[in-house]
Structure 1
Amino acid sequence: MHMHTHGIVLMRNFVGSKQKSEKESKMGHYMLLLTWFSTMDLHTFEPREAGDGFIRTNGVHFLLNGYPYYANGFNAYWLMYIASDPSQRYKVSAAFREASSHGLSVARTWAFSDGGYRPLQYSPGSYNEQMFKGLDFVIAEARKHGIKLILSLANNYESFGGKKQYVNWARSQGQYLTSDDDFFRNPVVKGFYKNHINTVLNRYNSFTGIHYKNDPTIMAWELMNEPRCQSDPSGGTIQAWITEMASHVKSIDRNHLLEAGLEGFYGQSTPQRKSLNPAGFNIGTDFIANNRIPGIDFATAHSYPDQWLSSSNDQAQLSFLNNWLNSHIQDAQYILRKPLLITEFGKSWKDPGYSTYQRDLLFNTVYYKIYLSAKRGGAAAGGLFWQLLTEGMDSFGDGYEIVLSQSPSTANVIAQQSHKLYQIRRIFARMRNIQKWKRARAARRDQWRGGNRGKRIGN
């Protein structure tokens, strides 16, 4: 999100997730999925290294322990920052507790804070142990609440340092750099960033005793929050950078998934799709080309119609959102053949004419598109709203924050989506178990027939 100031959401005692206000009954769900499942290759969901708790991909699906994985989630960029102060850690615990009670099972947060106030990395390769212990705590606490984490490794923007801080560090070491976009090009800066990757992935967690690169609590690494390179609208610079850094991450950690942090803007590789971008967003990224890079395991998209089309009315913004979601879900399914997460979306109460109804409508629009794809076994696997806060965090509010205990109608929308995606997971798991049973029965039958072949029957 461009206005990444402070913020996250609090969740409390709102277990509306078992409500049956869904339009389709469980039987409707079941029959639809049964039909779809019967047309699938029986081996689509074969477990690879099943049982180790790492999320993996197979075609357009995420798998957890061999079973299809769909998840409702949230952003909480502030987790490490808050947890670095032991007296404030209860807020992290409260956020995870409230999130979990609403069925939220994936959180995206920052694994960076470069230079400036209370940094994680205060100069290239030099780290603040107290801040790292904050991140250790976040991972340990997420594990306790059954929440998977997407950890972002750098920021495009100036908050928490960003590419500007890396470029300034290189300047102070004698590099002549003219633009913050030199972050993507300069070998010295790239060396600083690669070192940060090494440090985070090899970190030994002081709470769990597990190195980050070996911890299944982490779902995925993200190269950067919303990479943009306006100085090279051709897309070549970002494409080369993602290629190089994806390869670097995979050389250290083959356990975890990796994504680039993209907002989803279309680029040169699909000129016919560029009309779907909001006007003026020619920022050097390319949803198709960037996500085709080996090592990028799944695609991401963000959506902020209220920011991107700020002069348009709500109806025009919703129309844009529908087209944006449709095209990205289709492209993930049929062109990229990789899973898709909508990793940021939201609506600000600071928008002119804002109402809770409008926010709920936006959430429902995003959630319904994901649900429609997921129930057919499609590429859309979940959405992460921006952003969750807990009580007593007003200074972190940016307009997009949701404190679950203070936003009952939106909390209800969130809980219902969690429940729907959970039902889909359960049904897919049941179908897969039926398949396994049928295969085992067939194998036993063949074995029995083979064992009895040629034997005289009777006397």
Structure 2
Amino acid sequence: MDAVAAAPAGAKPQSGFVTVQGTHFMLDGRQYRYAGANFWYGAYLAAADGIGDRARLRAELDQLKAAGIDNLRVLAMSEASGFKRAVRPAFMAAPGQYDESLLQGLDYLLVEMGKRDMKAVLYLNNFWQWSGGMSQYVAWATGEPLSDPDASGDWNGFMQHSARFYALPKAQAIYRDAIRSVIGRTNGISGVAYADDPTVMSWQLANEPRPGSQDGGRANIAAYDNWIDETAGYIHRLAPKQLVSTGSEGAMGSIGDLDLFLQAHKSPNVDYLTFHLWPSNWSWIDHKDPAARLESGLKSSLDYIDRHIDAAGRLGKPIVLSEFGLNRDGGSYDPGSGTIARDRFYRAIYQRLLQRMQAGDAIAGSNFWAWGGRGRSANADFMWKAGDPFTGDPPQEAQGLFSVFDSDASTLGIVADHAKAVHALPR
């Protein structure tokens, strides 16, 4: 007898797909809240042909699952580029040309996550240079050279160059081909179409899309908002069973303006909101000594969380804190260094999220940044080079900057305690 026939009379068959009901996620008739991690390199680690390490992948998924982590945010497209600090190889070697070994890595990752009852949030582009991203699309569309901030130090110029992506029809055509190539794929291992796979909770338009720099971004607002609405609608047509989100940082990724953030997310094609929290990047906490201004930085961080949860409630949609992190003690990158300040930070963030969940507010989950697992840098400068093990820190950052390694027992204990508390909430 099949599962549907065996269900009690009147019961709905389980679909396994996450849906939205008001300001909450639902999964098979019960409220779905989660404690997750960022695992951007998951498809890379799951690839064969000397790129990945499938034994490491399986072991680390087991460790994450044992800690209660049941949602992973993963990069699902990267672009070959001349950026100094970009990941190599890339999913897309040139417009319309895709690396099958990395796509097969994504196949393998989704199968292994499905075995462990984990959900995936897959992002399909990047505002930043470390995976090629929007600036590479601009270069392909225009033939103009890249603006590499790691070479020039001109981050405002880079952001304005990257934001040209939204209004370039040729760039959008290349991007939509990439979207179709992933979402329209059938998993070569399971035989399940990606669009029919309940392991995929959500497709994200990009990692941290911004309208541009603090100074020049306002000129791009209309193009940015239109891009969000139209692209989210396009993804929904390809994958109607799955959710769509933007990948936004929140107000700090919207020229510091919470109202602009909300305006961009009013589209009915955007199912839920996301925001990120980077207090040391935003100078609320000291990069080199996070303990020095930790308490004042925490106050600003908790206020940022509350303002975004409240805003999501006003908009009537769920929200997820899909990135947050802090440096190790003394700004060290060494996996053996302390995490006293980081642990205090994680406890405080998780406590506030849990309080807001307990109150029935719009916060639905979180993904810490980032899982570094067994990855270790062998380089004196801690910078990633092609062929090195992957950690949670992408190639433009020192390996160990924000990674939570498999040996970080105290931090993992805090993560596990939070996951247990979240899963114990009434559903």
What TM-score do the two structures reach when normalised by structure 1?
0.75
Match for residue 402 of structure 1? 404
CA change 1:311–1:386 in 2 (3 A) is closer
Identify which of 317, 327, 344 aligns with 1:348.
Answer: 327
Counterpart mapping for 1:305-316 below 5 A? 305-309=279-283, 313-316=293-296
Matching residue of 2:92: 121
Instruction: Please list every run of 5 or more consecutive structure 2 residues that lacks an aligned counterpart in the other structure.
Output: 1-9, 82-87, 146-159, 287-292, 378-388, 392-398
Q: In structure 1, what residue type is equivalent to 2:106?
A: L
Deviation at 1:232, TM superposition (A): 2.9
Q: Distance in 2 between matches of 1:264 and 1:217?
A: 26
What are structure 1's unaligned runs of at least 5 residues?
A: 1-46, 268-276, 429-459
Distance 2:297 2:12 in 1: 43
Q: Distance in 2 between matches of 1:65 and 1:103?
A: 19
Structure 1 counterpart of 2:26: 63
Letter in 1 for 2:321: I
Residue 9 of structure 1: aligned partner: none
Cα distance change, pair 213–173 in 1 and its aligned pair in 2 (3 A): farther
Task: Provide the residue aligned with 1:291 in structure 2.
Answer: 265
Q: Tell me if structure 1 keeps the 8 A contact 2:329–2:339.
A: no
Percent identity of paired positions between Structure 1 and Structure 2:
27
The aligned residue for residue 129 of structure 2 is 158
2:351 pairs with one of 368, 379, 394: 368
**Counterpart pick for 2:164 among 167, 178, 182:** 182
Larger Cα Rg: Structure 1 or Structure 2?
1
- The answer to whether structure 1 residue 110 and structure 2 residue 89 are counterparts is no
Structure 1 residues 350 and 158, CA gap change in structure 2 (3 angstroms): farther
Amino acid at match of 1:305: P
From 218, 241, 246, the counterpart of 1:233: 218
Distance (Å, rounded) in 2 between the aligned partners of 1:194 and 1:351: 43
Secondary structure at 1:378 match in 2: coil
Output aligned runs, 1:70-85, within 5 Å.
70-85=33-48
**1:85 Cα deviation after fit:** 2.6
TM-score calculated relative to the size of structure 2:
0.80
Query: Higher helix proportion, which one?
Result: 1
Measured on the aligned residues, the alpha-carbon RMSD in Å equals: 2.4
- The residue correspondences of 1:302-451 to structure 2 (distance < 5 A) are 302-309=276-283, 313-333=293-313, 335-349=314-328, 352=331, 355-394=338-377, 395=389, 396=391, 397-404=399-406, 406-424=407-425, 427-428=426-427
Provide, for residues 121-154 of structure 1, a one-character-per-residue CA deviation record: whole Å limited to 9, x for no partner: 1111111111110111111111111110000000
Letter in 1 for 2:39: A
Q: Which shows bigger deviation, 158-167 or 342-351?
A: 342-351
CA distance in 1, matches of 2:40, 2:30: 29
Residues 49, 286 of structure 1: alpha-carbon distance in 2 compared, 3 angstrom cutoff:
farther
Distance 1:285 1:352, change over 3 A: farther
Higher relative contact order (CA closer than 8 Å, sequence separation 6+): 1
Find the aligned partners of 2:11 and 2:184 in 1 and give their Cα distance.
Answer: 24
How many equivalent residue pairs? 363
Q: Which residue is 2:231 aligned to?
A: 245
Match status 1:209 vs 2:191: yes
SS of match in other structure, 2:244: strand
Cα gap change, 1:150 to 1:185, in 2 (>3 Å):
same
The amino acid across from 1:323 in the alignment is: D
Q: Secondary structure at the match of 1:113?
A: coil
Which runs of at least 4 in structure 1 moved beyond 6 Å after TM superposition?
Answer: none
Counterpart Cα distance in 1 of 2:224 and 2:12: 33
Give the C-alpha shift of residue 207 in structure 1: 1.0
The answer as to 2:114 corresponding to 1:143 is yes
Q: Name which of structure 1's ranges 241-250 and 55-64 shifts more when overlaid on structure 2.
A: 241-250
1:260 to 246, 257, 278: 246
Q: Is the 8 A contact 1:238 1:285 kept in 2?
A: no
